[in-house]
Structure 1
Amino acid sequence: MNSVANDCMSQDSETRPNIVFLFADDLCTYSVGCYGNQDVQTPNLDRLAHDGVVFDKHYNTTAICMASRANVFTGMYEYKTGCNFTHGDMRPEIWAKSYPVLLREAGYLTAFAGKFGIEVEGKGLCEDDFDFWGGGPGQTNYQTAKNASMKKYADEYPHSTLSYAAFGKDVIREASEQNRPFCLSISFKAPHKPATPDPRFDHVYQGKKFTKPENFGREFGEHLSAQSKQGRQYPRFTDWNYDTDYDGEMAKYHQQVFGIDVAVGMIRDELKAHGLQENTVVIFTSDNGYICGSHGYGSKVLPMEESSRVPLMIYHPNSSLNGRQVRCDRLTGNIDFAPTMLELAGLSIPSNMDGKSLLGLLKNPTDGGHEQLSFINVYGPLPTHSLSCLTPQYKYTYWWYGEEEMEPVEELFDTQNDPLELKNLAGNSQSTDAIEMMRSKYDQQLDHWKKHAVNYNDYRRFGTLFDRHIPIEDKNLDSPKKSKSE
């Protein structure tokens, strides 16, 4: 054990909080009761929200599994992690500054279960960098028995969601016996497709009718860019039966979320059983949201609210806001988790990280967060690739791609006053000041990309493609492609 770890181990586990990081896959805000959906049953998540703080403007800076997980591990934007489907794996020097590595070096017992989501060159899934391992490659499997590291839980919990809770309970017991601070990270496969709910919960939504969001259907997507309709998100509105069987699809989706809710309850109960609830920070969020028919789209990836904004609830036992049902509307992102965990452990935040610690917002929810964030998509068909700039009020996207029947266009939404994104303010004469401000902020975000993007895995090229000031005919559309797929 190195000197840093020895210094940190000199502090007993009561002075350094334990960390439980719970990560859903494809879970949108309207899947959780505390975000206003009265059709769903999420009692344990709602209790976590009641006990802690709910974040209403929390975004994933890339809304797809692999890249989002790299964001979370490293606290950096995708163009600095160099990691996403069709681009390439993470380099070991990037992983060396991830929160699991840094916390373990500092003496934390570290554990991971579920969908790891990335690979590191020369290290694969990095299972040797954790004290307890229940992770798996690729998408993992809903059948517990088919996940090699989780087979021992298969008899009692044949569906993977609750098996991860059982893993978490084992880690909590072991850490308690060792009297060591721990960081438990669980990445549920649910509710990622193919929809495979745990049959023990079939009764929960049987015959249930669900209220459609007010922006549901193709008529509410006519004002959105032609570029956003070139990827698989557009046909999935019909391919996945949102148009013809909304209730059936949402019953399966929410039943998977119900399984997660039960798992969250199991983990929090285990913390209480060992007297650790008053020294454990619990964070719950998702790797990206999900478009379940809003605007006539399905899936994720795109910058619209349903796919980019996700639930975030944090319980810190020492927060004075606990139990007051406080909601934070400051702008936060998935790049903020690594800095938050490092500050919890008393560690300095590396200068390479783009995120900010969220701990200040657990003291004063109106002071902190980001003034602006990037939202990135460089996955899928080239026309859907785009860069967005987010502020607490606005979202600006420059759809750069153009061809004979498709011109580059801008989108500007006032997400504070128009959260359903029903009115594109770009081109509105009354929004001239707002569009000019957001163009400037966008240019700042792109300048950061140009200065800091890794020089591998095809990230430098986008500094040109996303530039508003360079004509489309001067942009190189050719790119090397790799075979890795979602």
Structure 2
Amino acid sequence: MSALFGLVGFVKGRELPNIVFLMSDDQSTYTLGCYGNPDVQTPNIDRLAEEGLAFDKHYVTTAICMASRATVMTGMYEYKHGTNFSHGEMLTSVWAKSYPRLLRESGYRTAFAGKFGFDLRETPNSPKLELPADDFDGWGGGPDQTFYETKRNESMAAYAKEYPHSTLSYGAFGRDFIRDSAKSEQPFCLSISFKAPHKPATPDRRFDHVYAGKTFSKPANYGREHGEHFSKQSKQDRQYERFHSWNYSDKYDEVMAIYHQQVYAIDVAVGMIREVLEDAGVADNTVIIYTSDNGFFCGSHGYGSKVLPYEESTRVPLIIHDPRHPNSGKGLRSAALTANIDFAPTILSLGGVPVPSKMDGKDLMELYDNPEAELHDSIALINVWGKAPTHALGVVTKDLKYVHWAYADEGFEVTEELYHLDKDPLELVDLSRNPEYRSDLKSMRELYDQELAAWKRESVEYNNYQPYGTIFDREVPWSKKRLLFERHQPQD
């Protein structure tokens, strides 16, 4: 046992737990039985929810993988970690305060497998660095999007013969790391980022039978007729055209069968991990967290893909199981507002590690103690990626969502949207012009302005984040924003 671990092996008189953090890619809430879909088979994840705590209002603060994964690791909003496609990579000084680095420094045995999701640089203009494999005791990670073919993922090639599809290979990686770690006196933290069910849709063929010939119920907000009230800005990028090009419009059952089949394989991998926790004798002291990096439209409102600050894109599954806790095994759910900024503080707190003051999130285990409690009053929803019109800033509370579309070049006008999520969870009615909701609109604008003030105050000075403090300012006319926008607009 290391001398360092000997100092932190216990916190408040209790043995530190092992931690398993599992994250899928592009998984919507309606892929899971425990979120109310009777058309799917997800027995292992459903059991995890029944034995733990499921969260019904959990959001990603940026609904695209690179920024979302950076937020998970750092506990900070995108404008503070400064990491996203077309903006730039994470600096090593930011990575140094991520939960994997801090946990390992405190004495945890750590491992990562799957899609790492972002690169590192020493400074904004220095060369890209290799992925930080040396920062983990076990490494099965890969760059960029990684591959569904296990043999093409260099760090996972040893699993290719038995598990040619990557999803189950990550289950096997987790199995082996847990077995080895159970022999150690150190607590462990295993983080797995599945590639599934990210496009291009490539299911594990051993599960072709699961949804063969299946017909799936469409959500009540499916189709273009349910997106006419969305902003013109939101219709200017690939999310809109992919309703057709990705065949949600004409081959819905076929497309969704493949999508759900990929999630089914994740469910099998979750079962592999839970089984080895039991076999290794560490299940009773291992906290499991399951979530996704962002959601997916799958035809809702006549959109495909993600990115935009609407529910299907930003609200994702979250399940936590802490077998040590008296609230486990009760099938409890929390309606508290939570977000992906909360993962790093939660994991560090579980490990008895001080949470850096720059982190924006809070400890989700407060809700495990009391599922009726609240954690956040509001959460910011960010998009500064893709075509200029789709850039938006929003704010969500338990009941309301406000989105501000700032782009107002020729053919566009500044647009606001307001939704009462408690009454209208499918976002079918924009209330921003409804006089009965004038007071709600005012209060949400005030929350929006508070979030923007934090952006202006705390955004990094590199990777083109500071200009958005002006671009998203409701009081600044487009004539003053336009030149600033063009000057600092990242290229696709």
TM-score range, shorter chain: over 0.9
AA partner of residue 419 (structure 1): P
AA partner of residue 141 (structure 2): G
Query: How many angstroms does 1:324 deviate by?
Result: 1.2
Q: Is the Cα contact below 8 Å between 1:458 and 1:479 reproduced in 2?
A: no
| 1:178-198, Cα deviation, whole Å (9 max, x unpaired) | 132000000000000000000
Give the one of 403, 406, 410 matched to 1:404: 410
AA partner of residue 217 (structure 2): T
Give the one of 374, 388, 394 matched to 2:380: 374
**2:239 counterpart SS class:** coil
Query: How many angstroms does 1:479 deviate by?
Result: 3.9
Q: Take 1:348 and 1:45, find their aligned partners in 2: how far apart are those partners?
A: 30
Give the one of 393, 417, 428 matched to 1:422: 428
**2:291 counterpart SS class:** strand
Query: How many angstroms does 1:366 deviate by?
Result: 1.4
> More displaced, 317-326 or 129-138?
317-326
> Percent of pairs identical after alignment?
57
> More displaced, 446-455 or 117-126?
117-126
AA partner of residue 81 (structure 1): H
Give the alignment of 1:25-40 within 5 angstroms. 25-40=25-40
Q: Is the Cα contact below 8 Å between 1:88 and 1:482 reproduced in 2?
A: no
Query: How many angstroms does 1:306 deviate by?
Result: 0.3
Q: Take 1:321 and 1:305, find their aligned partners in 2: how far apart are those partners?
A: 28
> Counterpart in 1 of 2:329?
323
| 1:393-417, Cα deviation, whole Å (9 max, x unpaired) | 1110011111222100100011111
Are residue 342 (structure 1) and residue 348 (structure 2) matched? yes
> Counterpart in 2 of 1:307?
313
Q: Take 2:432 and 2:488, find their aligned partners in 1: how far apart are those partners?
A: 33
> Counterpart in 1 of 2:118?
118
> More displaced, 171-180 or 112-121?
171-180
Query: How many angstroms does 1:10 deviate by?
Result: 7.0
> Counterpart in 1 of 2:125?
none
> Counterpart in 2 of 1:478?
486
AA partner of residue 477 (structure 1): F
Are residue 386 (structure 1) and residue 408 (structure 2) matched? no
> Counterpart in 2 of 1:456?
462
**2:357 counterpart SS class:** coil
> Counterpart in 2 of 1:96?
96
Q: Take 1:388 and 1:303, find their aligned partners in 2: how far apart are those partners?
A: 7
Give the one of 156, 167, 181 matched to 1:175: 181
Query: How many angstroms does 1:317 deviate by?
Result: 1.3
Q: Is the Cα contact below 8 Å between 2:9 and 2:16 reproduced in 1?
A: no
> Counterpart in 2 of 1:217?
223
Change (3 A) 1:200 1:425: same
Q: Is the Cα contact below 8 Å between 2:9 and 2:15 reproduced in 1?
A: no
> Counterpart in 1 of 2:18?
18
| 1:69-118, Cα deviation, whole Å (9 max, x unpaired) | 00000000000000000000001110010000000000000000000001
AA partner of residue 16 (structure 2): R
Query: How many angstroms does 1:318 deviate by?
Result: 2.1
**1:256 counterpart SS class:** helix
> Counterpart in 2 of 1:440?
446
AA partner of residue 28 (structure 1): S
Change (3 A) 1:107 1:482: same
> Counterpart in 2 of 1:162?
168
Query: What RMSD in Å do the two structures reach over aligned CA positions?
Result: 1.6
Q: Take 1:480 and 1:460, find their aligned partners in 2: how far apart are those partners?
A: 9
Residue-pair matches, total: 484
Change (3 A) 1:420 1:14: same
AA partner of residue 71 (structure 1): T
Query: How many angstroms does 1:368 deviate by?
Result: 2.8
AA partner of residue 485 (structure 2): L
Give the alignment of 1:134-283 within 5 angstroms. 134-283=140-289
**2:264 counterpart SS class:** helix
Q: Take 2:487 and 2:93, find their aligned partners in 1: how far apart are those partners?
A: 25
In structure 2, the gaps of 5 or more residues are 123-128
AA partner of residue 94 (structure 1): V
Change (3 A) 1:438 1:480: closer
Q: Is the Cα contact below 8 Å between 1:87 and 1:481 reproduced in 2?
A: no
Q: Is the Cα contact below 8 Å between 1:72 and 1:335 reproduced in 2?
A: yes
AA partner of residue 305 (structure 1): E
> More displaced, 115-124 or 185-194?
115-124
Give the alignment of 1:51-70 within 5 angstroms. 51-70=51-70
Give the one of 304, 310, 330 matched to 1:298: 304
Q: Is the Cα contact below 8 Å between 1:5 and 1:105 reproduced in 2?
A: no
Change (3 A) 1:479 1:64: farther
Q: Is the Cα contact below 8 Å between 2:70 and 2:81 reproduced in 1?
A: yes
> Counterpart in 1 of 2:367?
361
Q: Take 1:308 and 1:46, find their aligned partners in 2: how far apart are those partners?
A: 21
Q: Take 2:479 and 2:168, find their aligned partners in 1: how far apart are those partners?
A: 53
Give the alignment of 1:45-56 within 5 angstroms. 45-56=45-56
Q: Take 1:405 and 1:10, find their aligned partners in 2: how far apart are those partners?
A: 61
Q: Take 2:243 and 2:463, find their aligned partners in 1: how far apart are those partners?
A: 31
Q: Take 1:8 and 1:145, find their aligned partners in 2: how far apart are those partners?
A: 39
**1:303 counterpart SS class:** coil
Q: Take 2:266 and 2:185, find their aligned partners in 1: how far apart are those partners?
A: 28
AA partner of residue 240 (structure 1): W
Q: Take 1:92 and 1:6, find their aligned partners in 2: how far apart are those partners?
A: 28
Change (3 A) 1:10 1:370: closer
**2:262 counterpart SS class:** helix
Query: How many angstroms does 1:9 deviate by?
Result: 4.3
Q: Take 1:14 and 1:198, find their aligned partners in 2: how far apart are those partners?
A: 41
TM-score (norm 2): 0.96
Q: Take 2:369 and 2:2, find their aligned partners in 1: how far apart are those partners?
A: 33
Q: Take 2:369 and 2:249, find their aligned partners in 1: how far apart are those partners?
A: 44
Q: Is the Cα contact below 8 Å between 2:49 and 2:320 reproduced in 1?
A: yes
Q: Take 1:377 and 1:288, find their aligned partners in 2: how far apart are those partners?
A: 12
In structure 1, the gaps of 5 or more residues are none
Q: Is the Cα contact below 8 Å between 1:62 and 1:68 reproduced in 2?
A: yes
Q: Is the Cα contact below 8 Å between 1:331 and 1:371 reproduced in 2?
A: yes
Q: Take 1:52 and 1:104, find their aligned partners in 2: how far apart are those partners?
A: 26
Q: Which runs of 4+ in 1 moved over 2 A?
A: 1-6, 9-14, 479-483
**1:155 counterpart SS class:** coil
Q: Take 2:393 and 2:50, find their aligned partners in 1: how far apart are those partners?
A: 35
Q: Is the Cα contact below 8 Å between 1:115 and 1:187 reproduced in 2?
A: yes
Q: Take 1:2 and 1:270, find their aligned partners in 2: how far apart are those partners?
A: 25
**1:254 counterpart SS class:** helix
TM-score (norm 1): 0.97
> More displaced, 173-182 or 56-65?
173-182
Q: Take 1:449 and 1:3, find their aligned partners in 2: how far apart are those partners?
A: 41
Query: How many angstroms does 1:349 deviate by?
Result: 1.0
Q: Is the Cα contact below 8 Å between 1:13 and 1:179 reproduced in 2?
A: no
Q: Take 1:210 and 1:49, find their aligned partners in 2: how far apart are those partners?
A: 23
